[in-house]
């Protein structure tokens, strides 16, 4: 009689192998300085890794890149990738407005995540089979989300900022939310803003 728990143990072994490979990859990224906060074995830091050679797939957080030359070089690489993907996947202006996609922070953030994910999935020799497939799944969901959620009224060459209230520009708003307190408890006294 076959062991009824055998499939479970096989699945757990597979998960363990995947986690071990992930931990090894993470350690390599940390040691190369590609992950913010990580340090390279040679004593450099994550910024040094970006200034030298950024590891493909390493996260890019645009507002944290202080060196203008590094930011410009990454932006050129990223822009080339966006243009290539827009042509390869035959994106319409409803999916990604040709004339203003870079003016929408949320679109840039989404595309940046797709770019680094693409680099990671196509550059990861340890997971060459599933990576590209999973990236395509993320790509299709992201393209739909960009057109549906992030663009506002921008289509067919017409740029229109979303009409919205900026959350981070009103200190009184933040104070009001803090004074309301966390859910399920009593509100704590919050110092008045000066």
Same structural domain, 49 and 66 = no
Structural domain includes residue 66: yes
Structural domain includes residue 103: yes
0.75 surpassed by pTM: no
Range of the domain at 46: 12-55
Residue 157: CB atoms within 10 A of its CB come to 10
Same structural domain, 153 and 73 = yes
DSSP 156: T
pLDDT of residue 102 exceeding 60: yes
Q: What is the pLDDT of residues 53-62, one digit of tens each?
A: 678 888 999 9
Q: How many Å apart are CA 13 and CA 19, to the nearest integer? A: 10
DSSP codes, 10-33: HHHHHHHHHHHHHHHHHHHHHHHT
Out of 50-64, 82-96, 111-125, 178-192, which region has the weakest mean confidence (pLDDT)? 178-192
Q: What is the pLDDT of residues 107-164, one digit of tens each?
A: 899 999 999 999 988 876 666 677 888 899 999 999 988 877 766 666 555 666 655 5
DSSP 92: -
């Amino acid at each position: 009689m076959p062991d009824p728990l055998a499939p479970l143990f096989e699945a757990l072994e597979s998960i363990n192998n995947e986690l071990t490979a992930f931990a090894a990859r993470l350690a390599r990224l940390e040691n190369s300085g590609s992950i913010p906060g990580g340090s390279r074995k040679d004593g450099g830091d994550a910024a040094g890794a970006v200034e030298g050679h950024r590891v493909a797939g390493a996260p890019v957080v645009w507002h944290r890149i202080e060196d203008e030359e590094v930011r410009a070089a990454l932006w050129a690489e990223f822009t080339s990738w966006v243009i290539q993907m827009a042509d390869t996947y035959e994106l319409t202006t409803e999916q990604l407005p040709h004339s203003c996609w870079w003016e929408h922070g949320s679109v840039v953030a989404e595309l940046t995540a797709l770019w680094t994910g693409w680099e990671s999935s196509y550059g990861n020799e340890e997971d060459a089979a599933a990576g590209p497939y999973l990236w395509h799944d993320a790509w299709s969901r992201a393209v739909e989300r960009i057109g549906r959620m992030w663009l506002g009224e921008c289509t067919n060459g017409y740029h229109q900022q979303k009409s919205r209230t900026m959350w981070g520009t009103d200190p009184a708003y933040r104070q009001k939310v803090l004074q309301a307190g966390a859910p399920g408890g009593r509100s704590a006294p919050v110092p008045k803003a000066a």
